[in-house]
Amino acid sequence: MPISFTTLQIYDQYLTTYRNKSGNDGYGKSSKRSSRFDTHDADELKSVYSSIQWKNRFAPLYLNDPTPRSIAYAVHLKESAQDLKQTIHALSGEDDELFSLKTAYSDNEALASVEYVPEDADGSVPSDFDLKIRSFASPQVNTGAFLPSDQPVAMRPDNYSFDILTSKLHYELQFTVNEGETHRELQGKLARLINNSDLGVHARVLENRNRSALEITSDATGMPFQGVSHFTVTDESTSYNNGIVNYLGLNKSIKNATNAVYTINGAEQSSYSNTINAFGAYHITLHPEEAAPPSGAQSKDTANVGRARISLYADSESLSNNIETFVDGYNHFVNDVLSEDDEGNGTENVSGPLTRLLSNDMSKFLRFHRTDLEKYGISINEDSTLEYSRAEGVSDPAALKTFGSHVLRKLNSIAIDPMEYVDRRICAYSNPSTHYINPYMTSIYTGMLFNAWT
């Protein structure tokens, strides 16, 4: 199959635009948390296939002449619709009713923030509980000796090396000490060398007045699963000259990693990281950088970093939070796809030739639901975005659920055939007396990605 420059652009758009980096794991790397809505069972896939068949059964025959920009727009539109569907589905409660998701809060966000994920619950889940933090999870830190920053290195110019040993790898770092090189310059060079090697550790140069030291910190927090340390720095059996580890004092001041120690309703627990779960459903993130331990704390048995009360919002407050999340997601979808302009003038909220069809369709859709939306404090702006002002005493989501189900149907339609919102000519209408499925209609969207024209 020939691959064109246009096809490569589309592949690049998928990789650079839709790869989510919203999460962060305990090793400092970005990741996206999966949910039950990221996968589909056989019945859902069969439903999508049936929808495609039904749509194509009565669809006219179109003449498509897509430009590279309209192809990219169709891909972007489909992915944006899928993202908004995920947002709406994620607001469903345990019974999969729209906008019934309960939300949790912490009365001490500086210490601990919380996310409520009911599908992860382990049995019965209380509506509130006390969380007391005795210590945070910390990494291993090797701090070198503080040396005069501007003083030349007192080692002969030559090639040197040292090893960093972890539970997974043995890595040798090789470098050169140059004539007249200062301590600060050598420490900075080694910090860059370590950080560029992706070893599971990172380094920086500490400065105190006219003195500087090299500090190496493990990416992982908590006590190691094996051994007593996350990493070891040594130059005892290295390829080039040794002595740099002792000279910089990289093994003289070692702060071992520790686990997070906390209590839930008085029961003590521990965690290797500062992300903990309570009763499965409460996903709690501790914030050691914002909540420093009190002065005079000596040990995990006596020190109390802080405490927080974790609770579920009342139904009305949870509904308001769900509406706010939906409005933000919907506005992101609208601003993202309607800001495209075929003329490339970059003007926001102005419908260009590329977005005119979608803009008109969304405007009609919102006007139809205006009355129901206003009951919940949701108003419609001229640019088809929504604005939310919390309404007091609103706790019945019935009308909002109806609107949400209609939005999902609209998004499903967009995802099945995004080319419907790209200008195309009708060549022939289907024969109303027959119901043959057009086999080519189902593959237009997919097939255009592999079109070899430039």
Mean pLDDT along residues 228-256 = 91
| Cβ neighbourhood burial of 158 (10 Å; 0-12, 13-18, 19+) | exposed
Q: What is the dihedral of CA 308, 110, 107, 97, to 10 degrees?
A: -110
Nearest one of 49, 62, 64 to 416, comparing CA atoms: 49
pLDDT number for residue 453: 41
> CB–CB of 251/145 below 8 Å?
no
Answer yes or no: are the C-beta atoms of 216 and 208 closer than 8 Å: no
pLDDT one-digit tens code per residue, 394-410: 767 788 888 888 988 88
What DSSP state is assigned to residue 196?
T
Question: What pLDDT, on the 0 to 100 scale, is given for residue 416?
Answer: 81
On whether the CB atoms of residues 115 and 126 are closer than 8 A, the answer is: no
DSSP 266-312: TEEEEESSSEEEETTTEEEEE-TTTSPPPTT---TTT---EEEEEEE
301 has a pLDDT exceeding 70: no
Domains, in order of start, for the chain = 5-100+316-448 (no CATH), 104-137+259-312 (no CATH), 139-255 (2.60.40)
Nearest to 264 by CA among 134, 129, 137, 135: 129
Question: How far is CA 43 from each of CA 58, 206, 406, 413, rounded to the nearest angstrom?
Answer: 23, 58, 20, 18
Phi/psi for 279 (5° steps) reads 60, 25
Q: Residues 137-146: pLDDT tens digits?
A: 999 999 999 9
| SS3 state at 177 | strand
Distance CA 242, CA 167 (A): 23
Q: For residue 270, what are its two tokens?
A: 């521990």
When pLDDT is averaged across residues 95-115 and rounded to a whole number, the result is 87
Whether the per-residue pLDDT at 117 is higher than 90: the answer is no
In three-state secondary structure terms, 231 is strand
**Res 314: pLDDT:** 86
Cα-Cα-Cα-Cα torsion 354, 355, 361, 362, nearest 10 degrees, comes to 160
Q: In terms of pTM, does the model score above 0.75?
A: no
